[in-house]
């Protein structure tokens, strides 16, 4: 559909074009509102479950450098494994 279609005599946009544009704008607004609602619901659920909503504590400076190093070494990605792949 040509969104620049106009009436031959007046140059006014066709009503079908106006309808399409308004419908697409309404659909976009609905999508934005639903996304906002789902985001707030997720944040409320995370808060009720006691999880962090935002940056983890170490990024906010709540853990000391030694605690950060300890948690990093305890994570699976930094454990040394033997040739079979088992943790040592």
Per-domain boundaries in the chain: 13-51
C-alpha separations of 63 from 9, 59, 68, 72 in Å: 72, 8, 6, 12
Strand partners, 6: 13
User: Token pair for residue 86?
Assistant: 């088992």
Please state the length of the chain.
88
**pLDDT digit string, tens, across residues 20-76:** 889 999 999 999 999 999 999 988 888 888 876 666 655 556 667 777 777 767 665
Rounded distance between C-alpha atoms, residue 53 and residue 63, angstroms: 17
**pLDDT digit string, tens, across residues 76-88:** 555 555 555 555 5
Cβ neighbours of residue 30 closer than 8 Å, sequence gap 6 or more: none
The structure's pTM equals 0.47
């Amino acid at each position: 559909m040509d969104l620049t279609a106009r009436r031959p005599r007046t140059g006014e946009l066709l009503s079908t074009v106006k309808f399409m544009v308004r419908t697409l704008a309404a659909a976009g607004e609905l999508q934005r509102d639903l996304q906002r609602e789902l985001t707030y619901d997720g944040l409320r659920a995370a808060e009720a479950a006691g999880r962090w909503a935002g940056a983890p504590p170490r990024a906010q400076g709540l853990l000391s450098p030694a605690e950060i190093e300890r948690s990093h070494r305890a994570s699976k990605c930094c454990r040394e494994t033997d040739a079979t792949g088992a943790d040592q």
